[in-house]
Amino acid sequence: MSESGELDYRIQSPEVAHRFEQLRARPVILGVQNLSKVFGTHAALNFISFDVRRREFLSVLGASGCGKSTLIRIVAGLETQTSGQILLDGKPVAGPGPDRGMVFQGYTLFPWLTVKRNVMFGLRMSGKSAFEAESEAREWIALVGLSKFENAYPHELSGGMKQRVAIARALANRPRILLMDEPFGALDAQTRAQMQGYLLEIWRNVDVTILFITHDLDEAVYLSDRILVLGANPSRVQEVIENPVPRPRSREQFTSPEFLATYRRISELIHPPNTEETERIQIPRMTMAGDDVE
Ligand SMILES: Nc1ncnc2c1ncn2[C@@H]1O[C@H](COP(=O)(O)OP(=O)(O)OP(=O)(O)O)[C@@H](O)[C@H]1O
Ligand SMILES: [Mg+2]
C-alpha cells in the first residue's frame, strides 16, 4: 500500500508473480532493439527496445502522435526504420511476411470476396489446396463465431463482425505474432467491449503472441500481460508495466484495486502533472449564444 492507502501497482499476488516468472522463461518471439525512426527532422521513435515472449499479450500505449503506428508498421515491415532492428525468433526481418499477422483499424477485407474466401486467401497464397484452405478457413471462422456468415460479403457485416473476420484471416496463416493497431478504435463502446471479450477468448484458445496498440487505458489493462508506455517528443519507452490484474479477466475487475492502481500509474505517465498544455479554446464573440437577445 502507498501512503495514501492505495494499492501499489507493482505489488503482485503470488499467482500473478508466478505467471510472470513462467512468462519470462518462455522464448522471445519478437525483439525490438534500439529502434529509431526519423521523418525529415522529426524523431518519431527514439531508441525503442523491448521483447515480446511466446503467448504474451503486450500492449503499447501512448498519446496520439507518439509513434505507436510507426512502431507497429516497422514491425510489420510496411515501413523501414532509420536505425535499430526487429528480430523475429532471433532473425532480423526485412519487409512484410506471413509470420506476422495484421489487424488494423480500417477494415482491410477484400470487399469482392466472401468471408470464407477472405479467410482462404492467405492459405491459398501459401500453397494450400482449395480443399485444405476451405476446411481450415471454416475452422477459423467458427472460432470467431461467424459460421453462419461464411458466404456473406463484407458490406453485409457489422463493424465488429468485419474485425472478427480480419482476426480469423490473420490467424489462419498461423503467424508467429499478431500485430494489432487500434483494431477496435472505430467501434462503438458496446461492440468494442464485446470484441475485447472475444479477443481474450481467442487468445486463451490459440497459441499466439499479440502486440496490441491502443490509446485506451482500460483496454490495455483489461487485455494485457504487460503494458509498454511510450512517451512523446521524441518517443521513448517510459515504463513497461507488469499488469498485476489476475487472469482470467472479467469486466468486474475494472474496479478492483489492482486494476485501478495500474490505470492510475499509466495515467500518471501519459498525463504527467503540470506539464499538460492547457490551450484554451477561444470562441469568437460573434458566434456566442445569446448575442441576439442582448
Ligand atoms: N509517413 C510519414 N511522414 C512524415 N511524418 C510521419 C509519417 N508517419 C507518421 N509521421 C509522424 O510521426 C509521428 C508519429 O505518428 P504515428 O502515426 O506513429 O503516431 P500514433 O502514436 O500512432 O498516433 P495515433 O494515436 O493518433 O494513431 C507523428 O508526429 C506523425 O505526424
Ligand atoms: Mg496510430
CA 79 to ligand 1: nearest atom: 1
Instruction: Please list the ranges in the chain whose pLDDT falls under 50.
Output: 276, 294
CB atoms within 10 A of CB 220: 26
pLDDT of residue 105: 85
pLDDT of residue 281: 61
pLDDT of residue 272: 78
What letter represents residue 206's amino acid? V
pLDDT of residue 275: 54
For residue 270, the ligand closest to its alpha carbon is: 1
Ligand 1 atom 18, closest CA: 67
pTM listed for this prediction:
0.92
Ligand 1 atom 23, closest CA: 65
Class of domain 14-99+175-271: alpha beta
Pocket of ligand 1 (CB under 6 A): 39, 42, 44, 62, 64-70, 215
In angstroms, the CA 215 to CA 63 distance is 6
pLDDT of residue 108: 84
pLDDT of residue 294: 46
Q: Which DSSP symbol is given to 182?
A: S
pLDDT of residue 246: 97
Q: Where are the domains of the chain?
A: 14-99+175-271
CA of 173 to the centre of ligand 2 (A): 24
CA of 231 to the centre of ligand 2 (A): 14
